[in-house]
Amino acid sequence: MSRRGNCHDNAVAESFISSLKRERIRRRTYKTREEARHDVFDYVEMFYNPIRKQVRNGMLSRVEFERQQILKAEGI
């Protein structure tokens, strides 16, 4: 972290939170905090990482991108 109030310090987190709100949370009402936690967990673990395509990863999901990087490192 650099100085206080520098918006670029949190750019990655801000981008993720924006996607989470836009793609999952807006227009939903959760009855309990536990229900909200479960829904956010589902979004991250079942959609955002394994399925959602990322432009900066060559239109691959995060899981697929990591798999390809491992294969490259192993020389396959």
Report DSSP letters for 7-75, one per residue. GGGGHHHHHHHHHHIIIIITT---SSHHHHHHHHHHIIIIIITTT-EEGGGTSEEHHHHHHHHHHHHHT
Domain assignment of residue 1, yes or no: no
Number of domains composing the chain: 1
Residue span of the structural domain in which 68 resides: 7-74
| Report for 4-8, 15-19, 20-24, 35-39: range of highest mean pLDDT | 35-39
The answer to whether residue 41 is domain-embedded is yes
Q: Is residue 40 part of a domain?
A: yes
Q: What is the pLDDT of residues 1-14, one digit of tens each?
A: 556 667 677 887 88
Check: pTM over 0.85? Answer yes or no: no
